[in-house]
């Protein structure tokens, strides 16, 4: 009996998240795992369905889950459960919200790793070969930094998404939201050179709408982009812990350092909430402090 109750509740909630909230598959999978964890604990404790859970039960469950989860995962778990019970309440599948008296734990905000402008230039300009893969890899790095796109967005780009005449790129972000971002001249030139000289040899007479291809003519994967970046970082003698997101962080920080408005950066990054973008203001303040310490005659004793 309890199995059917849980199946209906979980399936209904995930369908709602997919259709109404437009959540990405990665977010849906994380929510599914979180709720399965709750279901497993409930069934172990003879609670027949989500409607049988009270706030005291949830506190016990969260305390048990905290033994295996870091702070950010605990916050996500609680957020998922809260959304789940609010949905059940709205749909008449529950008569109360047991999360109402439980606070969501605050996540520690960790400042992202960024590169200096010189380091970014060294990274990109370290790829200067004329082979198809070299042209592709240079174009990838140019777009990651020049457009601030996520690696998943980059891999999803099709040739038709790029307008080199207008120097604009269409990106599909989280929840299938689309945005247009400008493409700088160096990035546009690198991508155009790749399309003209590198893409066809990689395509190998196959048909693919994808802009960036692997050596078999298929769409390039996120793992492959990571590998490309890691190699470029090693060749440029840059930190080994770099990721594609490092270039996105650097893009946002350098825009703010250059005087861009925070709202503009939010739109360019595709952040739904400006509070997500505000983390870069902390980095910007660090940069301002360092510049002041170096330049002001009364900054030091």
CA distance 116 to 250: 7
**Residue ranges of the chain that CATH labels 1.10.443.10:** 117-293
117-293 belongs to CATH 1.10.443.10: yes
Q: What's the whole-number average pLDDT of the chain? A: 87
- Residue 159 has what DSSP assignment? G
Residue 164, CA distances (Å) to 149, 167, 187 in order: 17, 4, 10
Cα angle value 195/197/201 (rounded, 5°): 95
Residue 75: Cβ-neighbour burial (10 angstroms; 0-12, 13-18, 19+): middle
Q: According to the model, what pLDDT value does residue 289 have?
A: 64
Q: What is the pLDDT of residues 181-212, one digit of tens each?
A: 999 999 999 999 999 999 999 998 888 999 99
CATH topology of domain 2-90: DNA polymerase; domain 1 (1.10.150)
Tokens of 101: 């008296």
Tokens 């039960």 sit at which residue?
Answer: 57
CA distance 265 to 242: 22
Catalytic residues: 150, 174, 245, 248, 271, 280
CA distance 207 to 111: 42
- What is the DSSP annotation of 266-284? HHHHT-SSHHHHTHHHHHH
Phi, then psi, of 25 in degrees rounded to 5: -65, -35
Name the nearest CA neighbour of 219 among 229, 230, 228, 208: 208
**Residue ranges of the chain that CATH labels 1.10.150:** 2-90
By mean pLDDT, which of 14-28, 211-225, 236-250, 272-286 is the weakest?
Answer: 272-286
Is there a contact between 170 and 156 (Cβ–Cβ < 8 Å)?
Answer: no
CA distance 233 to 237: 6
257 pLDDT band, cuts 50/70/90, is confident
């Amino acid at each position: 009996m309890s199995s059917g109750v849980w199946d209906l509740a979980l399936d209904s909630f995930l369908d709602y998240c997919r259709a109404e909230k437009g959540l990405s598959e990665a977010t849906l999978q994380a929510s599914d795992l979180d709720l399965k964890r709750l279901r497993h604990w409930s069934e172990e404790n003879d609670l027949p369905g989500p409607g049988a859970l009270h706030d005291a039960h949830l506190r016990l469950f969260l305390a048990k889950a905290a033994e295996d989860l870091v702070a950010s995962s605990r916050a996500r778990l609680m957020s998922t459960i809260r959304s789940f019970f609010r949905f059940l309440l709205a749909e008449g599948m529950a008569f109360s919200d047991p999360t109402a008296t439980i606070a969501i734990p605050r996540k520690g905000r960790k400042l992202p790793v960024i590169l200096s402008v010189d380091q970014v230039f060294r990274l990109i300009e370290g790829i200067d070969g004329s082979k198809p893969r070299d042209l592709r890899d240079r174009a990838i790095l140019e777009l990651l930094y020049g457009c601030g796109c996520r690696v998943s967005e980059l891999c999803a780009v099709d040739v038709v998404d790029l307008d080199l005449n207008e120097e604009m790129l269409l990106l599909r972000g989280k929840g299938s939201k689309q945005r247009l971002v400008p493409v700088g001249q160096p990035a546009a030139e690198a991508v155009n050179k790749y399309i003209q000289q590198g893409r066809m040899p990689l395509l190998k007479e196959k048909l693919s709408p994808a802009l960036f291809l692997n050596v078999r003519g298929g769409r390039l994967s996120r793992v492959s982009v990571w590998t490309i970046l890691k190699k470029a970082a090693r060749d440029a003698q840059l930190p080994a812990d770099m990721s594609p997101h490092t270039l996105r962080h650097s893009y946002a920080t350098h825009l703010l350092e250059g005087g861009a408005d925070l709202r503009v950066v939010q739109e360019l990054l595709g952040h739904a909430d400006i509070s997500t973008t505000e983390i870069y203001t902390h980095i910007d303040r660090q940069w301002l402090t360092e510049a002041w310490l170096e330049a002001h005659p009364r900054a030091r004793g």
